[in-house]
Structure 1
């Protein structure tokens, strides 16, 4: 059999060649890559630096070398430009001449070092991409060149991962994915089936204790969700798609794209379908606030799914949003499909429930989506899965946040109620070497950093990873048959000793109100009195309140620990009955109308206390505080009005919801009333029963008034 490049045949390269110079997604991708590669070769040439600081010049040069080798390999096949072939050959030879003599680098954290990088993860990535590039020029090299590159570079590198670091090679973890994919693709490139088999089936060859098949079978829930959240999930998509493509071409009998009921498709869609309408990915666990569907892994996946699975309309919409495709035959197919469409609506994955845990029994997340007649999207996400930790791999790599029942809301083009995300300045060397900053633990992971209730100013599960890993939330209900009146609810138990929590969120389109209301009922059940803090993380400027507060001339932190030490207490006011806080963000007004009980407090805060290195972003928040045994926070988020300073326009700066009244709450149900400014009253009921009873008929009486309905929630 004639040697073929790993991810692109010679015939496929000829098909992609047709797009050179064309104004298509593929044509533009090729033009961009050609310009990028030409500039890199001209300005850098062949340079193999030694060791340097993590995230520094040497690190980035090695990284850019493998990126540009990969680009050069595909472009050589497509353009047949010999200069690209020579660049790969000369750079690989340069690495092969020094690699055997390189000492191990110095690890800056818990990851083992490679010979080039500070951690083997980066070395796995280098090997994967360099092997792909090598496979593109293999047929042009002399026997001596092949022996040098394979024996003095790739084989030594593969042996380091399979033998030296054998104890980590089989870990079921996103780092493990990169290890097996890098070794497997390298094995295919140098025609060493022995290491390919180890990558596929694990060192024991059982497809259970390790290897790519075990990773795919054990790492994701039946709905494809990865416990660490979308940020690390999208990072796993690259090795999955690239190795799977190589397996299908070299060993089609494995049936990799059908493995475990098509888990590659399932897990790919799990990432894409959780994205906010603007393409950013929700910040669950350690996550960037700016990571979005333009990420390389998601970009490759969009094309790969279109080529390998189905021509889904949402994939067309994804490509139109990304304005890019993977330089691959599947990307060509997607590019051609986009070119045929005159108008492609924005992607809309709809409302969904995604399970967590390998068996789907560790809670999960629910998403409600609504698109109105003006194509404005509203999305609400409720999180109640397992602790997003890879503690089984290494305790220092615990990416989990302590935020059960966290709520994010997106509308009017941005995240309205938002999650802070991780505390990390990626690859910014002066900021703690680009690694996680100390405040990631002292603030970002803490419960107060999220939109969920804090009990007695302490973090959930005592900020204890082992304790958090022993618990998970559960779905209470999820109902989306009426797009204008959807509901979701989750429960967590004993995240605080003696306190159970149930959060029910309704997305309700109400006549006369521009955007759907987010009706948020947060129920706390306890036999003892506690202090409950309900933080609301928002952006923009406070416009008005319906209560008096006292601003502080001198600032002090809100507390001494559990994240409170990082929040300046800016103002506070005592409240009772119902409270309203309204703010302006960009061109829209937002109002949070909340029940305050008989005696409560609203505290306004701003992030930045006890942050001597200015690591944290300065962001506003306010906290609804209540002391009680069992308690129901009833909150309504209303988006309203329009502001445009350029034309001095301000419309509907006051919302329609005036106050919220808790009619009653018991083990059967919670009933609340929304009082609108024109005297209208809307009454909503939510079932608090479990074990399937939430779907049946309900009847409750509060203060002499009886309410009855059928189903988990209703407008009465």
Structure 2
């Protein structure tokens, strides 16, 4: 059962169709139009947004309307033209309402009738790659994009059209369009995935404009009796329906979101899905307020906006967990929508206004007006990002993602569920940032989105052969095999488990989790701490990965960095001819640029990037191997970024412990040609105790000061009392860890 106050399906279906007031009513309302016209010219950010839209639409109108016969993948002319058109339908409709200029209504009308004339005879798209081909676009997903935006344009000119014109558009274009992306493509529409969210919102938006409660029911609850097994999967690797066999918009609000607002596919696709989630919710709130959509699942859709903003770095770029394109940020159009609607319906949080100020534009509707007035009145406050832990899974019981923050250093620790079809095989992986710069990276996706020359702008084969594989991430790999054998069927059944987290200590932020299913018979236990020490320029990271297994294995532990190698304390050789590290599971894409044997004690590796120095100090023994790697082997089309890595390997080991400290320090100015604090401040990192109960690490700086960190490996209650004697010293503490 759904957890919100929405009526059950039976009572809802019996409800008669209602229209609350006249059009427009979806996103911009009739009352909103009146207030906007009254305030226009006195609300700077809104006025500027209107002017930008006006210039854009006027330029398109001058070019004339083009609705070409579809033939291209994303990035091609026909794809981009139809995409451009649906944006213009929405913007021109809004301009008609705000400026009361009939030329914009005529432009929307003419374009819609041009689509109406072509749609009835339009075959499915000629490109056959998608599991659900559209008509205007190569996939139903983009057809749904079109209908979401076109619905808003239609709503804005609804009263401008005659009854006969509306009937012609609805009977020949909008209803057939809605039927095509839903009942004719249930494998697209009736599942839990960001694709389906767009489809559900598209059908629901046009339903609200037309007052069609049958279509609205289909949008909210999916297609009844679609003939698809509840456990079936589409060929994109996602389950068709949720755990209860339900589909539709409400199922997509229930299943992918945790109670904290984390979206299981990751922030990149959460960003993409937030537009239909919020725009349809806004429309439902305006037209069907009795559904109380913003209260659904304890207000999860508004929590999701806060979660997404917190899953961005100092520059606003989203952390590229799972399939995620780097550089996507809260400056995107989807987040303008999210911030504005969340502000209007989320108790007008003044911190959201500071994000809107950075975005420097607002929606041309009721929510955009509210934000513009708030900014004008000077009530904005900085959006403060703190250390945060987000649970994953519909009940918040499928692992999660933690972000440790101290000053301008951020550590992202992923111990989440698979993430549906966009998930990567990277349990207990992490990445590190400083002032928005990646220090240790997650590769993200292998795709050039909407660039036609690169596979039609779609996912490249290297996304599966490299980006999704475990070796592409900063985590442990056993026997050169990806987690869960790199198989979705296995990975989707499991998730990592949180041990504990603690962000309440000013000196240290800690998170710990374990994974028992990535490799049968092997347990991975990783603890990460961000430590502030007055003897260090910046907070540093302590990384502890403990591995226990029922057999002897090879363990690889990569760190993917950026920049130039500065210094090492071990001997290595560089080959004259580059060869791949392995033959499969992503190893075939890694060139070996150097190889050496580790030291007994510590290996130190320093590099320089973006004006800063960084050093990794790791505990090793003489049997360990060290590899310098470079992404790009077996890449004839140059689809992969040629980026470096530093990898530790333990051979013939049953149980193993990887312990490292990563520090950022110093600077270099190419103008003054002066290097400051370019060397590590770590003298030694040492394991002073380790068993199945406790792991203790001593960190000694170059001045001789020692910090001791002890993590509990079994009893992780925050109230448990502990006593441990190490080398004659007694340590007593309460909770899951000790630090002093």
With normalisation by structure 2, the TM-score equals 0.91
Cα distance change on mapping 1:231 and 1:687 into 2, 3 Å: same
Q: Is the 8 A contact 1:320 1:344 kept in 2?
A: no
Deviations 1:16-73 (Å, cap 9, x if unpaired)? Answer: 3456556732222222111111112223x11110021212111111110001111111
1:703-714 maps to which residues of 2 (within 5 A)? Answer: 705-714=729-738
Q: Which position in structure 1 is the counterpart of 2:485?
A: 462
> Which of 162, 182, 196 is 2:202 aligned to?
182
1:10-159 superposed matches below 5 A = 10-17=30-37, 20=40, 24-43=44-63, 45-55=64-74, 56-159=76-179
Equivalents in 1 of 2:658, 2:38: separation in Å? Answer: 61
Where does residue 266 of structure 2 map in the other structure? 229
- Asked if 1:573 corresponds to 2:573, the answer is no
CA distance in 2, matches of 1:340, 1:459: 54
1:697 alignment counterpart? 721
Cα deviation, residue 564, structure 1: 1.1
Q: How far did 1:261 drift?
A: 1.3
Give CA deviations for 1:63-111 in whole Å, capped at 9, x if unaligned. 1000111111111111112221111011001111111111121343243
Question: What SS does the aligned partner of 2:480 have?
Answer: coil
What residue in structure 2 maps to residue 644 of structure 1?
669
> 2:691 aligns to what?
666
Which residue pairs with 2:23 in the alignment?
A: 4
Structure 1 partner of 2:231:
none
Partner SS for 2:285: helix
Paired with 1:17 and 1:548, the residues of 2 have a C-alpha distance of 72
Instruction: Determine the C-alpha separation between the residues in 2 that align with 1:179 and 1:486.
Output: 41
1:684 maps onto 2:715 in alignment: no
In structure 2, the partner of 1:247 is 284
Question: How far did 1:313 drift?
Answer: 3.8
Select 1:600's aligned residue among 608, 619, 624: 624
Equivalences for 1:617-656 in 2 at 5 Å? Answer: 617-627=641-651, 628-656=653-681
Match of 1:193 in 2: 213
Question: Aligned runs of 1:381-460 on 2, under 5 Å?
Answer: 381-389=412-420, 398-460=421-483
Determine whether 1:563 maps to 2:594. Answer: no
- How many angstroms apart in 2 are the aligned matches of 1:653 and 1:453? 29
Query: Is residue 593–residue 658 contact of structure 1 (8 Å, CA) maintained in 2?
Result: no
Q: Are 2:374 and 2:380, in contact at CA under 8 Å, matched by a contact in 1? A: no
- Answer yes or no: is the 8 Å Cα contact 1:208–1:214 preserved in 2: no
Question: In 2, Cα distance between the equivalents of 1:478 and 1:674?
Answer: 21
1:646 Cα shift? 1.8
Q: Does the 8 A contact of 2:471 with 2:586 survive in 1?
A: yes
- Secondary structure of 2:202's counterpart equals helix
Higher mean alpha-carbon deviation, 311-320 vs 136-145, is at: 311-320
Distance 1:537 1:241, change over 3 A: same
Instruction: Give the length in aligned residue pairs.
Output: 700
Query: Quick check: 1:366 aligned with 2:376?
Result: no
- Partner of 1:495: helix, strand, or coil? coil
1:309 partnered with 2:346: yes
On the 8 A contact 1:700/1:706 being kept in 2, the answer is yes
The answer on 1:378 being equivalent to 2:397 is: no
> What CA distance in whole angstroms lies between the structure 1 residues aligned with 2:548 and 2:320?
28
Distance in 2 (alpha carbons) for counterparts of 1:479 and 1:91:
56
Aligned to 2:9: none
- Matched with 1:533 is 556
Q: Is the 8 A contact 1:19 1:27 kept in 2?
A: no
8 Å contact 1:202–1:209 — kept in the other structure?
Answer: yes
Alpha carbons of structure 1 residues 455 and 59: separation in structure 2 relative to 1, 3 Å = same
Deviations 1:603-632 (A, max 9, x none): 111111110000001101110112322121
- Residue 693 of structure 1 deviates from its aligned partner by 4.5
Q: Which of 298, 305, 324 in structure 1 is aligned with 2:361?
A: 324
- Return 5+ residue gaps in structure 2 as ranges: 1-19, 226-241
Question: Structure 1: how far apart are the matches of 2:430 and 2:519?
Answer: 18
Tell me by how many angstroms 1:366 deviates.
Answer: 1.4
What is the match of residue 266 of structure 1?
Answer: 303
Relative to 1, partners in 2 of residues 1:487 and 1:29: Cα closer, same or farther, differing over 3 Å? same
CA distance in 2, matches of 1:201, 1:560: 46
CA distance in 2, matches of 1:644, 1:27: 42
Structure 1: segments with no counterpart, 5+ residues: 372-376, 390-397
Higher RCO (C-alpha under 8 Å, 6+ residues apart): 2
1:708, 1:517 → 2: CA distance? Answer: 24
CA distance in 2, matches of 1:499, 1:702: 28
Residue aligned with 1:101, SS: coil
Q: Residue 701 of structure 1: CA displacement?
A: 4.1
1:497 to 502, 511, 520: 520
CA distance in structure 1 between the aligned counterparts of 2:703 and 2:728, rounded to whole angstroms: 26
Say which SS state the counterpart of residue 336 (structure 1) adopts.
helix
Counterpart-to-counterpart distance in 1, 2:136 and 2:380 = 47
Cα displacement string for residues 152-192 of structure 1 (whole angstroms, at most 9, x for unaligned residues): 11111122234322454332221221111101111122222
Which residue does the alignment assign to 2:567? 544
Look up the match of 2:611. 587
Q: Distance in 1 between matches of 2:733 and 2:370?
A: 51
| 1:593 aligned counterpart, secondary structure | strand
Select between 513-522 and 157-166 the one with higher mean Cα deviation. 157-166
1-structure distance, mates of 2:369, 2:465:
47
Offset of 1:504 from its aligned partner? Answer: 0.5
* CA positional deviation for 1:702: 4.6
Do residues 356 (structure 1) and 392 (structure 2) align? yes
In the TM superposition, what whole-angstrom CA distance separates every residue of 1:630-652 from its partner, at most 9, and x where no partner exists?
A: 12111111111111102222110
- Shift in Å, 1:303: 0.8
Checking the alignment, whether the CA contact within 8 Å between 2:181 and 2:189 is kept in structure 1 is yes
Mapped to 2, the partners of 1:629 and 1:58 lie a distance apart of 57
Residue 521 of structure 1 deviates from its aligned partner by 0.9
**Does 2:317 match 1:280?**
yes
Give 1:264 deviation, angstroms: 1.4
Specify whether residues 524 and 27 from structure 1 end up closer, same or farther in structure 2 by C-alpha distance, changes over 3 A only: same
Q: 315-324 vs 420-429, which deviates more?
A: 315-324
In 1, Cα distance between equivalents of 2:361 and 2:79: 27
Question: Is the 1:231–1:281 contact (alpha carbons within 8 Å) kept by the matching residues of 2?
Answer: yes
Mean Cα deviation higher: 623-632 or 63-72: 623-632
| Residues 265-323 of structure 1: per-residue CA shift (max 9 Å, x gap) | 12222222221221111111111111111122222111111101122243123223322
